[in-house]
Amino acid sequence: MLTRAVVKSYLLEMPRGHIFDLTYKLFADVFPPGEPDASSREQLRVLAEECNCVVVNNEAEGRFELTRR
């Protein structure tokens, strides 16, 4: 099961420039209730910032792209 701790651990271990794709389904599992909840998105943004990542919402493909800076 994917948890915030697992996502954070993975993001912190990613090399610079690597992209982690978080589908809306997995996003909802980790940050309920999921997309399009503003609070869930903010929680993801905070986690990404802690892990030195940039978040892009790829609505066309139904996923968030987290890129390590």
Residue 1 clears pLDDT 90, i.e. is over it: no
| DSSP letters for 15-33 | PTT-EEEEEHHHHHHHSTT
pLDDT, residue 20, reads: 98
Tokens at 60, concatenated: 């066309």
Q: Could you count the other beta carbons within 10 Å of the beta carbon of residue 56?
A: 11
Query: Using one digit for the tens of pLDDT, what is the confidence trace for 38-60?
Result: 999 999 999 999 999 999 999 99
* 3-state secondary structure (DSSP) of residue 63: strand
pLDDT, residue 10, reads: 97
Arithmetic mean of pLDDT, 8-21: 98
Q: Single out the residue of 19, 17, 37 nearest to residue 27, CA to CA.
A: 37
Beta pairing partners, 22: 64
